[in-house]
Amino acid sequence: MIIDEQAEFRSLLMHHVTTHWPDAIISAYDPTEAGHLPEEFSGAGNDLILLGSQHGEERDGIEVLRQFVNREGFPPVVYFGTEEDESAARRLAPDAHFIRNHINHKSLVVGLSDVLLARRRVASTNSLFVGDMRTGIHPLIKGYRFIRRLGATEHSGVYLAERESTHLQVVLKVLRQSSANEDSIGAFDRFLQEYETIAEMDHPNIVRIYDLGVADNHAHIAMEYLNGGDLRNQIDHGVTEKDAVDYLRQIASALSAVHRKGVLHRDLKPGNIMLRADNSIALIDFGLAKRARLESEITDKGEIFGTPYYMSPEQGHGNGVDERSDIYSLGVIFYEMLTGKKPYKADTAMGIIYLHANAPVPLLPARFAQYQVLINMMLAKNPDDRLQTAAEIEEWL
């Protein structure tokens, strides 16, 4: 979570983080627009709090830093202050400290990595994954034989496993609510909301959910194992024109189903699009999904989610989004599938966000000219000028 008044500074930090950790989920909070965080704010659900020194006229960064570092169970705090408040900040001893106007990418990444490593060492005394994994038995999750770990975070682990009753290979995502202080906006609730969102979908191009289990402070989701890799890897190796159009059709069909449920994906990118062995597409990772018809209990005004390369102009500027924002993201992906390049690139996240809002819609190479009209309709700057529904993409094709 990035907290600072200045949008440019928030975007700068977001760029540094996503450059090194491209799958990071970032919430960018403006205390002057969204209101100062209350004393009871626990930071639950965050691995790191990146706290800037600018908080408007009513509060200063040192005051907020003091509020955070004195909270038991609060996530690690990295403070970005000024030369004037450096002494005061060091006395409060945040987990890391940088001068906001002199940030070096390498030193920042090393500093954040050290903080995360220290946190993992502390967490290891209360680890999510216990027992001898070599035996294939997980003491918390019964009925599954573990094959190998696919990934892990502080809150969850992802494993390839086999369901013992059917011998079906599945991806098992296990989450532990590790802190008694976590409240309704914590990672546990995010996890359950993600399951509930996907479980409502019954579509061939959305990952299948087989099982949900909850016991004490643990939960797990068993979902389809997609062994074809992700679309990001496919793009890196080159996507044929035929496959690009076919993938676009499948993703648009899945988005139509998602949007009919009143849900926005909000983080559509090649890394969240997986392939099966038969070359069919499946959308995954609805952790950022938000019901369009409901006010989210997890997000607050002023947060920016997602990856700048695929953000619509309205999402990048923290404005309200609807299904047309997902259509824009899909337009970026289609352009990248055809050309192997992202339509907009810049040295900073802020620069990318600016180009999405102001640069002309990119031209496709001449051999793909027949798709230029579709690209224009998907990447229009004004949502009113875009295709209005994902179904229209299918109709156009």
Per-residue three-class SS string for 116-159: HHHHHHHHHHHCCCCCCHHHCCCCCCCCEEEEEEEEECCCEEEE
- CA 35 to CA 48: how far, in whole Å? 20
Task: Tell me which of 184-193, 198-207, 247-256 is least confident.
Answer: 184-193
Please give the residue that has the higher pLDDT: either 156 or 200.
200
- Closest listed residue to residue 5, CA positions, set 83, 57, 74: 57
Alpha carbon distance 195, 207 (integer Å): 11
pLDDT over threshold 70, residue 263? yes
pLDDT for res 155: 59
Strands 49-52 and 2-3: parallel
* Sequence-ordered list of residues with C-beta below 8 angstroms from that of 342, at least 6 positions apart, any chain: 309, 332, 335, 336
Tokens standing for 329?
């993201």
Please report the pLDDT score of residue 136 as a whole number.
Answer: 42
CB of 79 within 8 A of CB of 51? yes
For residue 2 the two structure tokens come to 């990035």
As a whole number of angstroms, the distance between CA 372 and CA 62 comes to 51
- Residues sharing a CB contact under 8 Å with residue 24, sequence separation 6 or more, in sequence order: 17, 18
With vertex at residue 184, the alpha carbon angle to CA 207 and CA 150, rounded to the nearest 5 degrees, is 35
Tell me the mean pLDDT in the region 80-90: 91
pTM across the whole model: 0.61
Structural domains of the chain, ranges and CATH numbers in brackets? 2-125 (3.40.50.2300), 133-224 (3.30.200.20), 231-396 (1.10.510.10)
Q: What confidence category does residue 186 fall into, taking pLDDT thresholds of 50, 70 and 90?
A: low
Catalytic site residue from 30, 95, 189, 267: 267
356-378 average pLDDT score: 94
Whether 201 shows a pLDDT value over 90: the answer reads: no
In this prediction, residues 310-332 reach a mean pLDDT of 85
Structure tokens at 146: 């573990």
User: Is the pLDDT assigned to residue 152 strictly greater than 70?
Assistant: no
Q: Identify the band that residue 172 occupies on the pLDDT scale cut at 50, 70 and 90.
A: confident
Q: What confidence category does residue 340 fall into, taking pLDDT thresholds of 50, 70 and 90?
A: very high
Residues 6+ apart with CB under 8 A from 36: 55, 56, 58, 59, 64
| Sequence letter at residue 109 | V
Summarize the confidence of residues 235-254 as an average pLDDT. Answer: 95
Does 85 qualify as catalytic in the annotation? no
Cα gap 183→175, rounded to integer Å? 15
pLDDT in tens, 41-74: 888 778 899 999 999 887 889 999 998 987 878 8
Q: How confident is residue 286, by pLDDT bands cut at 50, 70 and 90?
A: low
pLDDT of the residue at 265: 80
Q: What are phi and psi of 80, to 5 degrees?
A: -115, 95
How sure is the predictor about 119, in pLDDT bands with cuts at 50, 70 and 90? confident
pLDDT at 232 over 70: yes
**Would you place residue 338 in the very low, low, confident or very high pLDDT band (cuts 50, 70, 90)?**
very high
